[in-house]
Amino acid sequence: MSTHAQRERLLLADLLEMAGPDAPTLCDGWRTRDLAAHVVVRERRADASAGLVIKALAPRLERVQAEFAAKPYEELIQLIRTGPPRMSPYALKQIDEAANTVEFFVHAEDVRRAQPDWTPREPDPVFADALWARLERVARMLGRRSPVGLVLRRPDGRTAVARRGAPVVTVTGEPGELTLFAFGRQDTARVELDGDVDALAKLRGATLGI
């Protein structure tokens, strides 16, 4: 039985393939080729992907990612589809599921929602709960730079506090939409915001996410 991460991996690969190498994405400054290279480097080059979290190593990451972006686009897509090498931690199903479910979901939407004719995905209840469980665990990390108090709320009333403080903005939506919002895709997330005008304006312009 395939996992959430495996299904999102294949969907991301399909979307990248259909879009072609030079299509826009929601990742600032990245075309689809750049996004594909990022995904491959992240799980195949641990020596470089450390630059995602260690600022001093960021120049090395940029160099390695540029090298991969220069490869044939079809090769990058195939590397995404086949997944990491056997010796990679991501080759373990449990780690792949924990680390890549949200990663691949967000990047799949980065490709989809950069197109002018995109439509929201119908939420699958099981997958929605999986996204929500992960969002609950990392909500405070994702919302740490919010300039206002931030509460994420599902339509059924379940909530996660992303940042304490006042004034408070409550963001309501399906788990997938809340995930995108919390990862800095505020402009395309299909959510409803409740709060005073100034707080809403500050939140819309805030840098959220990792």
Distances (CA, A) of 70 to 16, 35, 36, 51, 78: 16, 12, 11, 19, 15
Whether the pLDDT of residue 1 is over 70: the answer is no
Q: What is the pLDDT of residue 88?
A: 83
Q: How confident is the model at residue 8 (pLDDT cuts 50, 70, 90)?
A: very high
List domains and CATH numbers for the chain.
4-112 (no CATH), 125-204 (3.30.1050.20)
Q: Choose between 54 and 15: higher pLDDT.
A: 15
Confidence of residue 51 (pLDDT cuts 50, 70, 90): low
> Who wins on pLDDT, 34 or 60?
34
CA distances from residue 149 to 32, 154, 162, 176, 208 in whole angstroms, order as listed: 34, 17, 8, 21, 13
pLDDT digits (tens, 9 = 90+) for 166-200: 999 999 999 999 999 999 999 999 999 999 999 99
Per-residue model confidence (pLDDT) at position 35: 96
Q: What pLDDT score was predicted for residue 114?
A: 96
Whether residue 50 is predicted with pLDDT greater than 70 in this model: the reply is: no
Cut 0.85: pTM above it: yes
The pLDDT value recorded for residue 84 is: 86
pLDDT (0 to 100) of residue 43:
86
Is 57's pLDDT higher than 80?
Answer: no
Angle CA 69–94–159, to nearest 5: 95
pLDDT, the chain, mean: 91
User: How many C-beta atoms surround the C-beta of residue 155 within 10 A?
Assistant: 11
How far apart (Å, rounded) are the C-alpha atoms in residues 70 and 76?
10
Question: Above pLDDT 70, what percent of the chain?
Answer: 95
**Integer Cα distance of 43 and 39 in angstroms:** 7
CA pair distance 194, 191, nearest whole angstrom: 10
